[in-house]
């Protein structure tokens, strides 16, 4: 997704023009049947059009001009509803078109020899270099299990898993981010997406998706909304709207015989016309939310796309709004992910400056985030400027899994830093001693959620470096917002319980799961769901797949494994674990928007009652004129004003339906009160003012 696509304006000409055409195409009765409320309006438009033709060729039940006006505005109501839906779909189609540009006609180098031969997986690239080992075929002909070679400067022909090699890959065609990422065999960064470009080195890839099944194909289908299924909440609301429509339809149908009987009995006045009854029905049923409901759902998925999140189903977007438990990984989500040096704690008889100098010397050539932070801390606290290890004539000793320490050899000095047990073995082998005081400091740092690194020179322990994975700024406030929304946050980490408890307390999460295994994550989710909770979590590894498949909202990282992406129902293209919080906010915004417009739609019917009912029965029951609170000019102007307002309010609310109402981190109770105050009261007041203004305009223009 490009930045240009994300920043697309609401009423861009490239979207509006096709939407206008689609609004007419959607007049197809097969499409209208999918929305019971608007289908009733469509039928009303058809009937009033027939009544107008009858009035033109013979005696009509009402003036032909009045019937035509009602018919036209009923058709406009249907067209405006179609336009709202087409606008929402158009924004998705525009984004899908930008994704299609990533698809090109590609030629793939497919391995034709048996890859399980003597060379083994480690020699796959050598197989490609042999004569007859591969065939060049169209990428469209690749199937699951095929093995292909992609080298620097070439586009990856299909979705797959890297089984050999490591390379820098440009994924900007998919994510919109220009910074390349590393993809390599094994681990959690082995998944690659068709259409992305290898910038350096080479990759041997096993294809995991056939033609039409790729991640890019699924993205295009989802953002276009072609496969968008109605969510349970949306289905329930549709049932409610259909029920209200049926109730009002039955009530309206009974009014005609009742009116005919009353006129016949009183032998005066005239019965209510079918045209007026249709106008009454259209104004009574919840046409506003019925017209905008589909657009709200599509726009919710569109907002996910703008956040660089692909929803594999509309249900996932809605479920995000209902989530009440968030499972968040500690490293990279709650914390920065890179441990930073926070202090130097010297041993007895060792000055802090001496310890800081030794720590900096041991870290000058250490390019890890921890090593760089040690150099910076020594400079900031003691003014020790960073030196060049080569100018000093020193030899850097890199960290290895066997020694579990690193350091430097300088002018006969051997300075080492590493884990407590590794340094203890190191100094003990040189006749030194690991004191009780140092051991106590190591335990204290670990208990507080930090990581201790012990520093020694020869057989002498100089002190301890305190490393800490820094909690992200502002994350505690975000968790506070989630708590006010009634969402429980649970931190998942592989750390020991003491470290996990310290980080959890600092971050402000409600609970934590320490020493988490795939089985423990899955059990936690099932236990929460058994208690009636809706659970969301993020993951990127194969070991996260079972928990992702179980979670109600499962956000897989695009940089993760294919297993994780297939298990999730949302894919974060930015591979940012903190995106889960934003996803929940987007889901909440969708539900808030739907609730607000439903409240407004039902509330604004009240004004229409007072406009149409007195006008409809003015001749049958003159006493009902007392209900003409708006003092509308004539029965015809009253009915027409209400129908016009009913149509125009749909257009007025399209921006709100597409953008969504402003998200606020509040609970269900305060949210309901806010909706009733703003959208309920506004829904009552706005039609009174709107209908009166339209009535005055019609009278001034002599149109009614």
Task: List strand residue ranges (DSSP E) for 411-475, in order.
Answer: 413-418, 451-457, 460-471
Q: How many angstroms separate the CA atoms of 405 and 372, rounded?
A: 16
User: Under a CB-based contact definition with an 8 Å cutoff, are residues 297 and 230 in contact?
Assistant: yes
Cα–Cα distance, 704 to 696 (Å, whole number): 10
Q: Is 696 annotated as a binding residue?
A: no
Distance (Å, whole) CA 224 – CA 311: 12
Question: How many CB atoms lie under 10 A from the CB of residue 414?
Answer: 17
Tell me if residue 116 falls in helix, strand or coil: coil
Two structure tokens written together for 313 = 């189903």
Annotated ligand binding at 32? The verdict is no
> Which residues of 12-122 form beta strands (DSSP E)?
107-111
Residue 88, annotated as binding a ligand: no
* Burial class of 517 by CB neighbour count within 10 A (0 to 12, 13 to 18, 19+): exposed
**Is 401 annotated as belonging to a binding site?**
yes
Identify the active-site residue in 329, 552, 572, 695.
329
Strand order in the sheet with 107-111: 134-138, 107-111, 147-151, 202-207, 160-164, 191-192
Q: How many CB atoms lie within 10 A of CB 605?
A: 21
Task: Give strand pairing partners of 395.
Answer: 409
The answer for 532, left when phi > 0, alpha when psi is -120 to 50, beta otherwise, is left
- Is 544 annotated to bind a ligand? Reply is yes
Q: Which of 678, 676, 684, 681 is nearest to 604 (CA)?
A: 684
Q: Is 475 exposed, middle or buried (0-12, 13-18, 19+ CB in 10 A)?
A: buried
695 marked ligand binding residue: no
Residue with structure tokens 């001009």? Answer: 65
Confirm or deny that 417 is annotated as ligand binding.
yes
Identify the helix (H) or strand (E) that includes residue 142. Answer: none
326 and 507 in contact (C-beta within 8 Å)?
no
Which spans in 366-419 are helix H?
369-382
Backbone angles phi, psi at 40, to 5 degrees: -65, -40
The β-bridge partners of 19 are none
Q: How far is the C-alpha of 588 from the C-alpha of 600, rounded, in Å?
A: 18
295 is in an annotated binding site: no
557 is in an annotated binding site: no
3-state secondary structure 536-558: EEEECCHHHHHHHHHCCEEEEEC
Contact criterion met (CB below 8 Å) for 295 and 659: no
Q: Is 402 annotated as a binding residue?
A: yes
Nearest-angstrom CA–CA distance, 634 and 643:
14
Q: Which residues contact 524 (CB under 8 A, 6 or more apart)?
A: 327, 490, 513
Distances (CA, A) of 235 to 185, 290, 319, 502, 552: 44, 12, 14, 45, 18
β pairing state of 147-151 and 107-111: antiparallel
Active-site residue, 695 included: no
**Secondary structure string (H, E, C) spanning 597-634:** HHHHHHHCHHHHHHHHHHHHCCCCCHHHHHHCCCCCCC
> Which residues pair with residue 487 across a beta bridge?
none
CA atoms within 13 A on the CB side of 176: 18
> Where do the DSSP E strands lie in 104-157?
107-111, 134-138, 147-151
404 is in an annotated binding site: yes
* Residues annotated within a binding site for Mg(2+): 540, 544
- Annotated binding site for ATP: which residue ranges? 366, 370, 399-406, 417
Catalytic residues: 329
Residues at the binding site are 366, 370, 399-406, 417, 540, 544
């Amino acid at each position: 997704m490009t930045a240009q696509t994300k920043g697309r304006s609401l009423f861009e000409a490239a979207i509006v023009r096709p939407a206008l055409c689609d609004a007419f195409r959607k007049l197809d009765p097969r499409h209208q049947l999918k929305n019971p409320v608007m289908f009733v309006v469509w039928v009303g438009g058809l009937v009033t059009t027939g009544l107008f033709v009858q009035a033109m060729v013979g005696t009509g039940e009402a003036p032909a001009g009045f019937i035509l006006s009602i018919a036209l505005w009923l058709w406009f109501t249907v067209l405006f509803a179609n336009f709202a839906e087409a606008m929402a779909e158009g924004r998705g189609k525009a984004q899908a078109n930008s994704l299609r540009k990533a698809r090109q006609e590609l030629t793939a180098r497919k391995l034709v020899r048996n890859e399980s031969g003597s060379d083994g997986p480690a020699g796959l690239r050598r197989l490609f270099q042999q004569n007859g080992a591969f065939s060049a075929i169209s990428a469209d002909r690749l199937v699951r299990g095929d093995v292909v070679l992609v080298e620097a400067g070439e586009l990856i022909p299909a979705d797959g898993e890297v089984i050999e090699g490591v390379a820098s890959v440009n994924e900007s065609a998919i994510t919109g981010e220009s910074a390349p990422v590393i993809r390599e065999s094994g681990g959690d960064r082995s998944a690659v997406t068709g259409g992305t470009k290898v910038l350096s080195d080479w990759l041997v890839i096993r294809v995991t998706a056939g033609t039409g099944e790729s991640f890019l194909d699924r993205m295009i289908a989802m953002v276009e909304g072609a496969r968008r299924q109605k969510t349970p909440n949306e289905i329930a609301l549709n049932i409610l709207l259909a029920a209200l429509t049926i109730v009002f339809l039955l009530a309206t149908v009974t009014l005609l015989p009742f009116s005919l009987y009353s006129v016949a009995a009183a032998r005066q006045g005239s019965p209510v016309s079918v045209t007026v009854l249709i106008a009454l029905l259209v104004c009574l049923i919840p046409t506003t939310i019925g017209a905008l409901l589909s657009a709200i759902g599509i726009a919710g998925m569109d907002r996910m796309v703008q956040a660089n999140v692909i929803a594999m189903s509309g249900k996932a977007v809605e479920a995000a709004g209902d989530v009440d438990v968030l499972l968040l990984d500690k490293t990279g989500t709650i914390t920065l992910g890179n441990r930073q040096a926070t202090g130097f704690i010297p041993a007895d008889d060792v000055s802090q400056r001496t310890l800081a100098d030794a720590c900096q010397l041991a870290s000058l050539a250490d390019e890890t985030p921890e090593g760089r932070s040690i150099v910076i801390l020594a400079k900031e606290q003691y003014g020790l400027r960073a030196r060049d290890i080569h100018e000093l004539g020193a030899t850097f000793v890199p960290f290895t899994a066997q020694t579990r320490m690193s350091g430097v050899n300088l002018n006969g000095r051997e300075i080492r830093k590493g884990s407590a047990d590794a340094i203890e073995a190191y100094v003990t082998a040189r006749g030194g001693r690991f004191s009780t005081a140092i051991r106590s400091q190591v335990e204290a740092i670990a208990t507080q959620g930090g990581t201790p690194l012990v520093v020694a020179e020869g057989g002498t322990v100089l002190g301890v470096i305190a490393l800490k994975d820094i909690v992200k700024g502002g994350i505690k406030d975000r968790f506070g917002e989630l708590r006010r929304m009634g969402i429980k946050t649970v931190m998942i980490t592989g750390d020991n319980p003491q470290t996990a408890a310290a980080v959890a307390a600092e971050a402000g999460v409600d609970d934590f799961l320490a020493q988490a295994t795939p089985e423990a994550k899955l059990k936690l989710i099932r236990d929460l769901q058994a208690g009636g909770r809706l659970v969301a979590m993020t993951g990127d590894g194969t070991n996260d797949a079972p928990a992702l498949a179980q979670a109600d909202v499962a956000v897989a990282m695009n940089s993760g494994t294919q297993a994780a992406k297939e298990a999730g129902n949302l894919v974060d293209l930015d591979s940012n674990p903190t995106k889960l919080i934003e996803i929940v906010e987007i889901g909440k915004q969708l539900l808030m928007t739907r609730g607000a417009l439903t409240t407004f739609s039902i509330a604004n019917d009240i004004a229409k009652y007072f406009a149409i009912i007195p006008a409809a029965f003015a001749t049958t029951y003159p006493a009902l004129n007392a209900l003409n609170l708006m003092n509308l000019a004539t029965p015809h102007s009253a009915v027409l004003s209400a129908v016009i307002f009913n149509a125009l309010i749909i257009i007025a609310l399209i921006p709100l339906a597409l953008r969504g109402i402003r998200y606020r981190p509040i609970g269900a109770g305060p949210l309901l009160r806010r909706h009733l105050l703003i959208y309920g009261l506004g829904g009552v007041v706005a039609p009174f003012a709107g209908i009166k203004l339209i009535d005055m305009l019609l009278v001034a223009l002599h149109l009614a």
